[in-house]
Amino acid sequence: MDNMAATPIDPRVVERHGLAMLSAPGNANSSEHAAGVQAKRELDEAAEALLHTLGSDAADVTFTPGASPALWLAIEDTIARAGKRLPRIAATAVEHPALLSSLHRAERDGRVHLTVLPVDGVGAPQVEAIERALNNGVDLLCTMAVNNEVGTVTDLEAIGELVSRSGARHLIDASQAAGRINMKHVVAADLVVVSGAKLYGPRRAGALIGTLATSSAALAHDVFGSPDVPSAAALAFAAQLRVEESGDDEARLLLMRDALQAHLLDALKGLRINGSPSQRLAGSLHVSTPHVPGDVAVSRLWGRVAVSTGAACQSGVPGPSHVLMAMGLSDWAREGAVRIGLGKMNTEQEVEEAGALIAAALSSAESVRRYA
C-alpha cells in the first residue's frame, strides 16, 4: 500500500514490453538498415500514442530513463535557452527532491537564479506567491500536478492562466497525475513529465513532453544514450490502459480510501489527516498519529503492510519531510506521519485486513514519543 512510491507493473504491460523487445531489436538511431528504421518507427509510434492518450498537442516527446532524469533535463533546457543570461526559475517548496536537488545544485554553481515558492497547510501552491514571482520575471515555473506525499491536487487552471499572461514557460511534474486525474490543464504546460513507475508500467521509463532546444536534445542523447524503444512502447501502452480504465479504478480506490480513513479515525483518537480533504488523489491517505513516531509504525508493519514515512522515492531518508516542513505541520505531526497509497491492484479484503493492522501499528506507545 505504497503506490505513491511505485505501482506494481500491469501484466499486460509486461507482455507488451516483451513483444516490443522482440519486434524492435535495432537501435533507433541506426538509419542505415531496416532494423534501425523499424525501431525508430516504433519509437515515433510510442510518442504519438502517448500524446494522443494524454490529450496533448505537443510536437515532441523525449523518452528518458525515469521521471527524475526528465526533470533534470527540463532544468538544463531552461539554462540552455537563456544563453549567457542567468535564467530565473521559480519552484514550489514541495517539488520532488530530484527537481529541488537539481535546482539547488545549479544555483550553487551560479547557473540559475532560484525562487522557492511557499505552499499552504494542505500542500497546495500559494497562487498569490506564484503571481508575485511571475510579475517579477520568471523564465520557468515548476509545479506538481499532484503532490507525491500528501496527494493534494494542484489548481492548475488558475496557475496556467497566470503563466500564459506572464510569458514564462511552465514545467509540470505529472508523475502522480497521469492516468489518475483529468489532464486537460496539465498538458497545456510547455513541459510535462510522466513516469512509468506510477502508471503500472516499466520502472525505468519516463518522458518529457514538450519542445526542447537543439542543444538540450543533443544533451539528452549524450547523457541517456540511445532510446530504449521497448520501454517507450510499454510506457505508452501503460498510459493508454490507465486513461481507459481510470474512471472505474479511481472510483473504487476512493471508496476503499474513505473506508480505511473512517476506520482509522474511529480507532485512533487524535489522528490527523494531511492534505486537502476534497482535492486529493483517490488512493492517497496521509496521516499523522499522536501516539507513535511514523518510523516505529512502519517497522511494526514490516512484512505485512507496505507503507512509508517520507516523500515518494525518498522513504528511509533521515530527517523531516520537506513537504510536511513546507506545509507548516507541528513537530508531532511530522514525526508521526505515515503515507498510505492505495492502488488498483489492492482489493477490498486487503484494505479491510490492513486497516486493523495499521490501526494497531499507529496506536499508543508512550515510551517512544519524542514530542508531546
pLDDT digits (tens, 9 = 90+) for 336-352: 999 999 999 999 999 99
Q: Is the pLDDT of residue 358 over 90?
A: yes
Specify the pLDDT at position 31. Answer: 85
Helix (H, G, I), strand (E, B) or coil at 344: coil
Indicate whether 65 pLDDT > 90.
yes
Q: Report the number of distinct structural domains present in the chain.
A: 2
287 and 208 fall within a common domain: no
Q: What is the extent of the structural domain holding 255? A: 246-364
Is the pLDDT confidence value at 330 over 50? yes
Q: What percent of the chain has pLDDT over 70?
A: 95
Band (313; pLDDT cuts 50, 70, 90)? very low
Same domain as 239, residue 250: no
Co-location of 298 and 360 in the same domain: yes
pLDDT, residue 365, reads: 58
| pLDDT over 50 (residue 247) | yes
- Provide the 10 A C-beta neighbour count for residue 11: 9
3-state secondary structure at position 193: strand
Residue 339 and residue 203 share a domain: no
pLDDT at position 364, please? 77
pLDDT at 144: 97
Instruction: Report, as an integer, the average pLDDT of 284-293.
Output: 96
- Residues 45 and 134 both lie in one domain: yes
Residue 49 lies in a domain: yes
Shared-domain flag, residues 252 and 239: no
Note whether 167 and 205 are same-domain residues.
yes
Checking if the pLDDT of 372 tops 60, the result is no
Domain membership of residue 135 (yes or no) is yes
What CATH code is carried by the domain that includes residue 176? 3.40.640.10
Query: Same structural domain for residues 354 and 210?
Result: no
Range in 34-48, 53-67, 227-241, 356-370 the model is least confident about: 356-370
Judge whether residue 311 has pLDDT over 50: no
**Higher-scoring residue by pLDDT: 314, 31:** 31
Look at residue 370 and tell me if it is in a domain. Answer: no
* Tens-digit pLDDT profile for residues 98-140: 999 999 999 999 999 999 999 999 999 999 999 999 999 999 9
264/309 same-domain check: yes
